[in-house]
A and B are shown apart, each in its own frame.
Chain A
Amino acid sequence: NAGVTQTPKFQVLKTGQSMTLQCAQDMNHNSMYWYRQDPGMGLRLIYYSASEGTTDKGEVPNGYNVSRLNKREFSLRLESAAPSQTSVYFCASILGTGSYEQYFGPGTRLTVT
């Protein structure tokens, strides 16, 4: 049982490049999340998927797109990376249906130069 996994662990992009961050969970959870964490800003919600087939914007969705590929996988895409997107990105999931505990992945450290 790997829990929540994320790839890659580290990534350096040049301004304007695109990339997709991958997230998968093997706990049969219904809801999945993408956060970014910047120093002094805490965790800010980018997008979330309350259930398979649905996605909703969080606090800071601009510059990002998401895909809930299936129940297990939730990807985050940066179409044209900007230095302001330099951050640590965490994926998380919850079972839902009354169970609210969030399980986090190990994070992806992204630097945009």
Chain B
Amino acid sequence: GENVEQHPSTLSVQEGDSAVIKCTYSDSASNYFPWYKQELGKRPQLIIDIRSNVGEKKDQRIAVTLNKTAKHFSLHITETQPEDSAVYFCAATSGTYKYIFGTGTRLKVLA
């Protein structure tokens, strides 16, 4: 069945450094790839997304890249700040609107 693998499960970086989280998907029909940030006890919130007809998208310190051939996409956070500490989830969906999520990455930004 459809699957999304996410790595690493935990990531610690020094404040100001960059963080990269990677996801691999199995369904070649997937065409939309969102990233969510979830703070402790809160709901997931969309931080950036990319569609299959685009290779890269950037929003200030956050960027997402997509490699359709290899079926993987990555989240890049530059100049990390303590408030970036959270759990990050990737997801993939095709036109059926069925979403499959990765298992999450706990990011810790050390001051």
Interface residues of A (CB under 8 A from B): 31, 33, 35, 40-45, 48, 50, 56, 58-59, 90, 94, 96, 100-102, 104-107
Contact = CB atoms under 8 A, between A and B. Distances in A.
Main secondary structure of the interface of A (DSSP, over half): strand
Contacts of B32: 100
B98 A56 contact: yes
Contacts of B100: 45, 59
22 contacts: A31-B97, A40-B9, A40-B103, A42-B6, A42-B89, A42-B101, A42-B102, A43-B101, A45-B101, A48-B99, A50-B96, A50-B97, A58-B98, A59-B100, A90-B44, A96-B97, A100-B34, A100-B97, A101-B34, A102-B46, A102-B99, A107-B43
A88 to B, nearest CB: 9
Contacts of B98: 45, 48, 56, 58
Contacts, number: 53
B interface bracket (residues with beta carbon within 8 Å of A): 20 to 34
B45 interface: yes
Interface of B: 1, 6, 9, 32, 34, 42-46, 49, 89, 91, 93, 96-104
B93 A100 contact: yes
B97 A106 contact: no
Contacts of A33: 99
Nearest to B33: A100
